């Protein structure tokens, strides 16, 4: 089964590029930029990755991101992620980046976007991996600040497919960002958002009805509300579920209690993703492997999850069909 999972073609739809920052690379870039970090070694830094909740994690994640300063840093970070995609049979990825984490400390928007998008082009050429970028607004900041980020993004519109909403969920409901989402949609960006990771089902309703999102990041708490479950199914919207993230951030006590299989059985369209793999103990394949073991998922269910990852990607129909045909060929012969 492990080999089956490793070899099956898949897409990853929920990944924060800043969350792929492994301690080894973080130390290397810190040294290059002459920045001192409050940890003596890679091991000591890794030991700090113990979290009680989302905020606990975010505090250390934003700290780590401060090391990123130059276009080369963003390129190296992103290209390193693609190298991991290549060995995991990830054929397509939709990458979130948080411009405000960087612009807030004086790094120019174009430094961030140029570094990341050059790595995306190189990955297409070197590995044949396609990708889209999702510019995420930080929900702990104001809507006015999100509007400023939207403005900064406009010269790079051709490089950005969608917008997202991430960071501290509780106390920062989707309604806080209704106007900036409306304006972003007018600019041609596809709206996506984290919802129902720690926030309750009413945050998911708001994300659907006010932000008009095309996909839900996490969405675990949809299970609190049967009417909401039916609405998500009726709208044919997928959830980008992140099992190891949910375990690390105590959204679920352990993977055996993870609602993924229940979601599938209810008819929800679910995908498997790594969220912030450097911090949560595993890349996307490790997420598939551990949740398969915990919930005793069948090969057909693994195939269904991989199929959802292409079907509910932002790829156009032609590319979805191409990827799904290859995937189905794999399923039929293994
Ligand atoms: N930013 C990075 N990872 C996140 C997560 N799991 N939830 C909210 N914001 C995030
Ligand atoms: Zn996330």
The CATH number for 104's domain is 3.20.20.140
- Residue 68 domain-assigned (yes or no): yes
Containing domain of residue 112, as a range?
2-324
Closest to 173 (Cα-Cα) out of 129, 136, 127, 210: 210
Q: What average pLDDT values come out for the chain (334 residues) when binned by 10 residues?
A: 97 98 96 93 92 93 96 98 98 98 98 98 98 98 98 98 97 98 98 98 98 98 98 98 97 97 98 98 98 98 98 98 97 93
Examine residue 155 and state whether it is found in any structural domain, yes or no.
yes
* Residue 157 covered by a domain: yes
Q: Are 80 and 22 in contact (CB under 8 A)?
A: yes
Other Cβ atoms closer than 10 A to 158: 8
In angstroms, the CA 317 to CA 52 distance is 41
Task: Pick the ligand that lies closest to the CA of residue 59.
Answer: 1
Distance between Cα 332 and ligand 2 center (Å): 32
pTM over 0.85: yes
Q: What is the C-alpha to C-alpha distance for residues 237 and 252, in angstroms, rounded to an integer?
A: 23
133 domain residue, yes or no: yes
Is 9 a member of any domain?
yes
Domain-embedded: residue 247: yes
Q: How far apart are CA 141 and CA 93, in angstroms?
A: 27
> So what's the pLDDT on residue 225?
98
Ligand that comes closest to the CA of residue 276:
1
Residue 152 counted as domain residue: yes
Nearest to 237 by CA among 259, 255, 222: 222
CA of 166 to the centre of ligand 1 (A): 5
The pocket around ligand 1, CB under 6 angstroms, is made up of 16, 19, 54, 166-167, 194, 197, 245, 275-276
Sign of torsion, CA 159 107 180 191? positive
Active-site annotation holder among 18, 22, 94, 197? 197
């Amino acid at each position: 089964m492990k080999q089956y999972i490793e070899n099956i073609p898949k897409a990853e739809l929920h990944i924060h590029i800043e969350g792929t920052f492994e301690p080894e690379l973080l130390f290397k870039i810190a040294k290059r930029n002459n920045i001192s970090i409050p940890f003596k070694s890679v091991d000591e830094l890794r030991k700090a990755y113990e979290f009680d909740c989302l905020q606990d994690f975010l505090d250390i994640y934003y700290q780590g991101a401060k090391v990123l300063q130059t276009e080369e840093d963003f390129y190296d970070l992103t290209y390193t992620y693609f190298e991991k995609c290549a060995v995991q049979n990830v054929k397509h990825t939709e990458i979130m980046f948080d411009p405000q984490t960087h612009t807030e400390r004086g790094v120019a928007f174009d430094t961030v976007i140029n570094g990341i998008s050059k790595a995306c082009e190189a990955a297409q050429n070197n590995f044949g991996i396609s990708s889209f970028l999702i510019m995420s607004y930080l929900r702990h900041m104001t809507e006015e600040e999100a509007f400023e980020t939207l403005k900064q993004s406009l010269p790079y519109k051709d490089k950005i497919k969608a917008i997202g909403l991430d960071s501290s969920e509780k106390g920062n409901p989707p309604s806080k960002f209704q106007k900036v989402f409306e304006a972003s949609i007018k600019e041609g960006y596809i709206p996506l958002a984290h919802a129902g990771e720690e926030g309750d089902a009413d945050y998911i309703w708001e994300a659907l009805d006010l932000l008009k999102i095309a996909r839900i990041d996490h969405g675990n708490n949809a299970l609190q509300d049967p009417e909401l479950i039916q609405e998500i199914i009726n709208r044919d919207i997928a959830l980008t579920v992140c099992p190891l993230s949910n375990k690390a951030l105590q959204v679920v006590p352990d993977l055996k209690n993870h609602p993924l299989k229940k979601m599938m059985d209810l008819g929800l369209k679910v995908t498997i993703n790594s969220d912030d793999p450097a911090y949560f103990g595993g890349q996307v394949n490790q997420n598939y492997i551990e949740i398969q073991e915990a919930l005793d998922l069948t090969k057909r269910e693994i195939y269904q999850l991989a199929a959802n990852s292409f079907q509910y990607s932002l790829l156009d129909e032609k590319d979805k069909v191409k990827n799904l045909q290859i995937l189905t060929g794999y399923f039929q012969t293994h």
